[in-house]
């Protein structure tokens, strides 16, 4: 099965992190996620991160740094999540595609409400 390369952005304000709800009919639908999406051919991960966060949550990423790289096999799909912490941005994050969104404080984040691949992301954030 082919590996889907995904750019994922952790947008934080203090200890709050911006999260969005995946559409019911999407892969891992109904779970909360960190916004992001597939890296297209010819794009760098940073290009993809910038494009996806502009499309999905209406922000302009000014700087970001790598947080963690995760490979996960869902059985129906294999993903490589290239997770970056967004350290500077302009604009106010919102569910630009109509998706529900919320700021969640790190201490309240429940891994069970996120796709299984996200567990190490949430653990890594807790160590920062």
Number of residues in the chain? 128
Shortest separation between residue 15's beta carbon and Mg ion, angstroms = 24
The pairing of strands 16-21 and 36-38 is: unpaired
C-beta closer to Mg ion: residue 37 or 115:
37
Within positions 91 to 110, which residues make up the interface with ligand 8GT, using CB under 6 A? none
Which of the stretches 31-39, 67-75, 81-89, 105-113 binds Mg ion when contact is defined by CB under 5 A?
31-39
Give the total of residues touching Mg ion (CB under 5 A): 1
Residues that bind Mg ion (CB under 5 A): 37
Interface ranges with ligand 8GT (CB under 6 A): 4, 6, 8, 26-28, 33-38, 52, 77, 79, 81, 115, 117-118
């Amino acid at each position: 099965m082919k590996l889907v390369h995904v750019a994922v952005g952790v947008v934080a304000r203090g200890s709050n992190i911006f999260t969005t709800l995946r559409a019911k009919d999407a892969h891992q639908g109904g779970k909360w996620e960190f916004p992001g999406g597939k890296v297209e051919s010819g794009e760098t991960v940073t290009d993809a991160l910038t494009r996806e966060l502009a499309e999905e949550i209406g922000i302009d990423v000014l700087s970001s740094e790598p947080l963690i790289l995760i490979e996960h096999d869902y059985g129906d799909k294999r993903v490589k999540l290239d997770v970056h912490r967004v350290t500077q941005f302009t604009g106010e994050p919102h569910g630009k595609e109509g998706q529900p969104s919320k700021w969640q404080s790190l201490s309240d984040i429940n891994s069970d409400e996120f796709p299984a691949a996200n567990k190490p992301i949430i653990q890594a954030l807790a160590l920062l």
